[in-house]
Amino acid sequence: MPRFVFITGGVVSSLGKGLASASLGSLLQARGYKVRLRKLDPYLNVDPGTMSPTQHGEVFVTDDGAETDLDLGHYERFTGVHAKKSDNVTTGKIYSDVLARERRGDYLGATIQVIPHVTNAIKEFVVSDLTDEDFVLCEIGGTVGDIESLPFLEAIRQLGNELGRDKSCFLHVTLLPYIAVADELKTKPTQHSVKELQSVGIQPDILLCRTPFDIPAEQRAKIGQFCNVRPEAVINGRDADSIYHVPLMYHQEGLDMEICRHFDLPLNEPDLTVWRTIGDAVLNPEGEVNIAVVGKYTSLLDSYKSLAEALTHGGLNNHVKVNMNWIDSEEFETAENPMLLLEDADAVLVPGGFGHRGSEGKIKAITIAREKQIPFLGICFGMQMAVLEAARNLAGMPQAGSTEFGETELPLVGLMREWSRGYEVETRSYSDDLGGTMRLGAYDCVMEDDSLAAQLYQSLSVQERHRHRYEVNINYRDELEACGLHFSGLSPDGLLPEIVERRDHPFFIAVQFHPELKSKPFDPHPLFSGFVEAAVTRSRLV
């Protein structure tokens, strides 16, 4: 059985619990341990797939096709361990499983209750699908004290008991607010939050206190005393300039050391060369580029989390800082001279998206990028719009549209009702539910060998993650290729366009999948590295 670290949060939300978990995962890896990270989310949606990105942030997709919380993206980016369906669960999923079992009669006439039936289902989830991991880091979403998280807290309390102290550890992330008039960091909210945890039977072993300043020794002693934690286990969680400095900072503050101490493991120095290199690269760019991201969910930047990180990684690979200019695509529809919106852009990216609103603006931005030879990367919806742009403006099909927007005379982008995944056929229909019914997860793509795509990937085939309902109709390939839009990557059966590109342009490529989901700071995604490189080249020209 691996060791379990349960990570809870208190006082307020948005304390960076996900990043703390991801950073701890990377620190334990640097000590040679095999880690797995999981997240338990207390909301009632079965998964975040149907939630608006402007409410909940990006929906992260795993290779095995789970639509998950964006924290799983942090976990992957910091540890390189690919998350699975079995790494994220919500209250909604737990309840729907319990209720399905009840309907099947699995409970043999018992009265179904939160304790033990729901808590047992949570515990089963936490310990399921593990092999030879040394550590499982299990983050509980929400804030201690929320009604929703109670069954999860009860489940991890029980697990802590069952596993024993040598196999479980409770890490609580809190906030020490700074009160200017008193010139002091205040410990009271942390004390209350720990009390709240204790009232459900959990005594935290380690406190990670988010703070704008170093915690003075006497405050640390006070927190330790009131919260029943050794002062050394009260960790300074200072704000970082970049998320990629967090592993080093938390290491310096002793987070991984305290975990090792708790489990009686060797306290040797971990090898953090990778994080030092990344940290230095973030601090010392040799230049900068401006990338315009023309999207729809620009009001909450968390809705493009992986995208922003992937662009940053592309910047690291090219030794430049990437300035992202988030532009609401509707501005392209109303602006008198939309060209001005891209005046400073060294490159243009049209990301994934849903629905008609703003789509014409995206098409307009793509026209400008194509005509003005500005490097362009289209992702998912961005590829669908790039294909519509070429069809309407170059291939003489002004009526080309997507069935996502309703009935259209010329459905260049439409709902695929059947496609293959390996040897299996997957089917969908117009009457399907919205949740969990898109083309989801990793699919193969085969590339033409003289393509920009193959050159960037340095390979003729790749597996990338998908999350979309509609597909570009392959039957229009000849017309589009005749006007310069090459279908350079296809599904292995040749039916689903995966990559399109132009050869009469310095860098114009659009993909049906989401490359940003697989980019890591220590392994930047080739499409993003190539895209930022093209932006650098352009910035030197103009």
Interface positions with ligand GLN (CB under 6 A): 352-354, 380-381, 404, 467-470
Nearer to ligand GLN, 210 or 467 (CB): 467
The pair of three-digit structure tokens given for residue 496, joined into one six-digit string: 């689903």
Number of H helices, E strands in the chain: 18, 25
Nearer to ligand GLN, 233 or 380 (CB): 380
CA 17, CA 139: separation in Å to the nearest integer? 8
Tell me: cis bond preceding 411? Omega within 30 of 0 counts. Answer: no
- Greatest CA separation for the chain: 75
**Identity (one letter) of the amino acid at 278?**
I
Minimum distance from CB of 531 to ligand GLN (Å)? Answer: 17
Nearer to ligand GLN, 98 or 517 (CB): 517
138 belongs to the catalytic site: no
CA 178, CA 181: separation in Å to the nearest integer? 9
CA 70, CA 434: separation in Å to the nearest integer? 20
User: Do residues 234 and 207 make contact, with C-beta atoms less than 8 angstroms apart?
Assistant: yes
Minimum distance from CB of 95 to ligand GLN (Å)? Answer: 27
Nearer to ligand GLN, 101 or 469 (CB): 469
Minimum distance from CB of 438 to ligand GLN (Å)? Answer: 6
DSSP 8-state class, residue 272: -
Per-residue 3-state assignment (H helix, E strand, C coil) for 329-375: CHHHHHCCCHHHHHCCCCEEEECCCCCCCCHHHHHHHHHHHHHCCCC
Minimum distance from CB of 505 to ligand GLN (Å)? Answer: 22
CA 71, CA 140: separation in Å to the nearest integer? 11
Nearer to ligand GLN, 237 or 353 (CB): 353
* Per annotation, catalytic residue among 309, 516, 525, 533: 516
Length reported for the chain:
542
Nearer to ligand GLN, 403 or 455 (CB): 403
What three-state secondary structure class fits 284? coil
Minimum distance from CB of 91 to ligand GLN (Å)? Answer: 25
82 belongs to the catalytic site: no
505 belongs to the catalytic site: no
Helix 91-104 crosses helix 150-163 at what angle (to 10 degrees)? Answer: 80
Task: Give the number of other Cβ atoms within 10 Å of residue 419's Cβ.
Answer: 17
Task: Give the number of other Cβ atoms within 10 Å of residue 14's Cβ.
Answer: 11
Nearer to ligand GLN, 316 or 380 (CB): 380
* Per annotation, catalytic residue among 138, 169, 260, 380: 380
Minimum distance from CB of 513 to ligand GLN (Å)? Answer: 9
484 torsion bin: left (phi>0), alpha (psi -120 to 50), beta (else)? left
CA 525, CA 519: separation in Å to the nearest integer? 5
Of all residues in the shown chain, the one whose CB is closest to ligand GLN is 352
Nearer to ligand GLN, 9 or 53 (CB): 53
DSSP 8-state class, residue 453: H
User: Do residues 324 and 535 make contact, with C-beta atoms less than 8 angstroms apart?
Assistant: no
Task: Give the number of other Cβ atoms within 10 Å of residue 364's Cβ.
Answer: 21
Helix 305-317 crosses helix 273-283 at what angle (to 10 degrees)? Answer: 90
Nearer to ligand GLN, 158 or 403 (CB): 403
CA 195, CA 203: separation in Å to the nearest integer? 9
* Per annotation, catalytic residue among 56, 466, 514, 525: 514
Burial class (CB in 10 A: 0-12, 13-18, 19+), 162: exposed
Minimum distance from CB of 404 to ligand GLN (Å)? Answer: 5
Minimum distance from CB of 509 to ligand GLN (Å)? Answer: 16
Minimum distance from CB of 103 to ligand GLN (Å)? Answer: 32
Tell me the catalytic residues: 380, 514, 516
